[in-house]
Amino acid sequence: MDSIVIYGGSFDPIHNGHIRTALASSRYFDAKVIFVPAKNPRFKVLDSTPSQRLDMLKLAIKDLDPSIFMISLFEMDSYDEINYSIDTVRYFKNKFKQANLYFLIGADEANSFSKWKEAESIASIVKIVYVPRPGVKVDEENIKKYNMACLPFTKTGEVSSSGVRKLENIDIPLSVRKYIEENGLYYINELKKLESQHRLSHSISVANLSYRIAVSNKLKNPNDYYVSGLLHDLGKDLEVNNAKLIMQNNYPKYISYPFWTYHQFIGEFLAKKIFNIDNNEILEAIKFHATGNKNMTTMGKVIYSSDKIEPSRGYDSSDLINSCLSNCQDGFIKVLKANQEYLEKKGYIVDNDLTNDCYKQYLGE
């Protein structure tokens, strides 16, 4: 007898926690997994269209075994104003009359299950399986009343769809991340309000190169490098008077620095204020990405390098990119030297202590 796991959700967007859960449930129940994206889920205001969420779901599972992991459009094709789970499980019970059906829900959903439409009928048709979640204590009364089972899997990762939308975490398939970038969804839509299209394209390119360098060098938390690269130029397109006001109120130490340096400090300020970034390593990398500084972190070096050499800069930076991919520490020195030589060739004079300190420490000058 076949076993089937019904995995419903808004998937706005789908993330790697969803994928890990699907893989774990398939192994545990020796079952096929059918993703059922909701067209009109209750109690949720969605930030993408049904077709966009479906596109991302297809991208996320395209490399999984299609004979085991598949998508049902039952709810997507529904004309109902709201999708109710009772209708979904009845549909699958009628379609797979002899199969063992498991209905996957989260721990928080297990606690509110008694409020679902025809909850007892759902539990009589399928086996309710909840996925434990750190920090969420399940309602034992609900577990017993609806005869729920627990999927013994706790390695979903600290990721949520709401967190992805707000750039709090970015643990998503790379294909989904690219789709978000290309379609201007979630955090990219927020960046559109702050940056010109040219600036945004540059920021996305820096983010992806920073991520590649982090992965190639086996650095911890490569997604943090992506976030830092994506937000590094937040302050670049800010109106002059607003920029000066932020500097006066938050960075008086650097108010005498040349105006071109302001955007890196303002970028740090806006990353905290708008995107609630509290990771000091990300913030420091943004704060000194244009000038450099002494005692730079590895992330700081990677963001500095990526900003200078990302492919859309308009010159052949392939050798410098390959150097950073091979060894980000050595690559940073080469990028720093190349930038110094470029400035000298153009007749620019280094006009701030941060860059002079950076050159002195890393180039011995």
* Residue extents of the structural domains in the chain: 3-150, 194-363
Question: Phi then psi for 3, rounded to 5 degrees?
Answer: -120, 140
Neighbours of 83 (CB within 10 A): 20
Q: Is the entire prediction scored with pTM above 0.85?
A: yes
Instruction: Give Cβ neighbours of residue 186 (< 8 Å, ≥ 6 apart).
Output: 13, 47, 48, 164, 165, 166, 167, 180
- Cα 1 to its chain centre, rounded Å, is 39
Q: Residue 1: is its pLDDT beyond 70?
A: no
**H helix intervals, 184-261:** 187-192, 197-216, 222-231, 240-250
Q: Residue 143: is its pLDDT beyond 90?
A: yes
The domain 194-363 having CATH identifier 3.40.630.30: the answer here is no
* Alpha-carbon gap, residue 207 to 302, rounded angstroms: 10
Question: Mean pLDDT over all residues of the chain?
Answer: 95
pLDDT of residue 81: 82
Fold entry, domain 3-150:
Rossmann fold (3.40.50)
* Alpha-carbon gap, residue 109 to 101, rounded angstroms: 18
- How confident is the model over 263-298, as pLDDT tens digits? 999 999 999 999 999 999 999 999 999 999 999 999
179 and 170 Cβ atoms separated by less than 8 Å: no
Neighbours of 229 (CB within 10 A): 31
Q: Residue 339: is its pLDDT beyond 90?
A: yes
Nearest Cα neighbor of 232 from 184, 284, 180, 280 is 284
- How confident is the model over 97-114, as pLDDT tens digits? 999 999 999 999 999 999
Instruction: Take residue 27 and report the two structure tokens written for it.
Output: 């192994």
Confidence tier at 349 by pLDDT (50, 70, 90): confident
Q: Residue 25: is its pLDDT beyond 90?
A: yes
- How confident is the model over 27-63, as pLDDT tens digits? 999 999 999 999 987 767 788 999 999 999 999 999 9
pLDDT of residue 46: 82
* Alpha-carbon gap, residue 286 to 31, rounded angstroms: 46
pLDDT of residue 24: 97
Rg from Cα positions in the chain: 25
pLDDT of residue 365: 67
Scanning the structure block, which residue is given the tokens 């911890």? 220
